[in-house]
């Protein structure tokens, strides 16, 4: 999985998008990753899921045109305590939770100052999370090119690329309004299943 190449490809797709669409793409990525943090939080009683959910709600309201980003610096203050310290937690789920919160932070940053690089980072991170999960769960013995090929041909990885394509296609045909926000959020929620198959149900 060549993250530099993937990042560059995302930049090309993002660099000419209007500001609200950059935020929409990044928030959709954060929403899809949300169950990874929520399950970890529930299992080890870490972080405040209500605060994190509030941040996502405000991000979606911003996309709908209902919420100004001028107060979003406070969201970063709320999210910071929810970033797992990787020196404190040895379980692999902490890495998944960490990536989920970082994705949400990328979305907040993008809301305050829309930037194709911030959005591309979130998109690339989502694929990196999948790669780490696949290696940990079923490909510990693989390395290098063999591992990269295994990940990039994996159904989970391909499904995330399809999801990203669907978000781009949806926003390309949409205007900034509550209806677009609801459509995007429904797609991103994926019936409560994250991009690595984690569900709270």
CA 100 to centroid of chain Cα atoms: 6
How far is Cα 162 from Cα 62, in angstroms, rounded to an integer? 25
For the purposes of burial, counting CB atoms within 10 Å of the CB of 146, is it exposed (0-12), middle (13-18) or buried (19 or more)? exposed
Nearest to 40 by CA among 121, 97, 81: 97
Mean of pLDDT values over 176-194: 96
Residue 18 C-beta-side C-alpha neighbours within 13 Å? 10
C-alpha torsion angle, residues 30, 156, 146, 126 (rounded to 10): 0
**176 pLDDT more than 70:** yes
Residue 195 DSSP SS3? coil
Mean of pLDDT values over 166-174: 95
**39 pLDDT more than 90:** yes
117-140 pLDDT, tens digit each: 999 999 999 999 999 999 999 999
CATH H-level, domain 3-188: superfamily: YP_001051499.1 domain like (1.20.1590.10)
Read off the DSSP letter of residue 113. Answer: S
Residue 1: the pLDDT is 58
**24 pLDDT more than 80:** yes
Residue 201: the pLDDT is 78
Phi, psi (degrees; rounded to nearest 5) at 199: -135, 145
Are the CB atoms for 51 and 82 separated by under 8 Å? yes
Residue 68 binned pLDDT confidence (cut-offs 50, 70, 90): confident
How far is Cα 192 from Cα 201, in angstroms, rounded to an integer? 8
Sequence spans of domains, the chain: 3-188
């Amino acid at each position: 999985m060549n993250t530099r190449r993937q990042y560059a490809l995302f930049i090309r797709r993002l660099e000419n998008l209007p500001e609200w669409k950059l935020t929409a793409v990044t928030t959709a990525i954060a929403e899809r990753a949300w169950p990874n943090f929520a399950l970890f939080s529930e299992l080890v009683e870490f972080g405040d899921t209500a605060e994190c959910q509030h941040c996502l709600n405000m991000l979606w309201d911003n996309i709908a045109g209902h919420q100004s980003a001028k107060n979003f610096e406070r969201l970063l203050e709320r999210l910071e305590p929810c970033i797992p310290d990787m020196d404190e937690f040895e379980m692999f789920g902490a890495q998944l939770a960490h990536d989920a919160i970082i994705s949400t932070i990328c979305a907040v940053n993008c809301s305050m100052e829309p930037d194709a690089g911030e959005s591309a980072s979130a998109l690339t991170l989502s694929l990196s999370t999948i790669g780490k999960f696949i290696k940990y769960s079923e490909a510990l013995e693989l390395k290098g090119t063999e591992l990269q090929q295994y990940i990039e041909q994996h159904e989970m990885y391909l499904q995330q690329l399809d999801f990203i394509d669907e978000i781009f296609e949806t926003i390309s045909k949409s205007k900034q309004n509550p209806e677009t926000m609801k459509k995007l959020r429904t797609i991103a929620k994926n019936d409560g299943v994250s991009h690595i198959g984690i569900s709270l149900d």
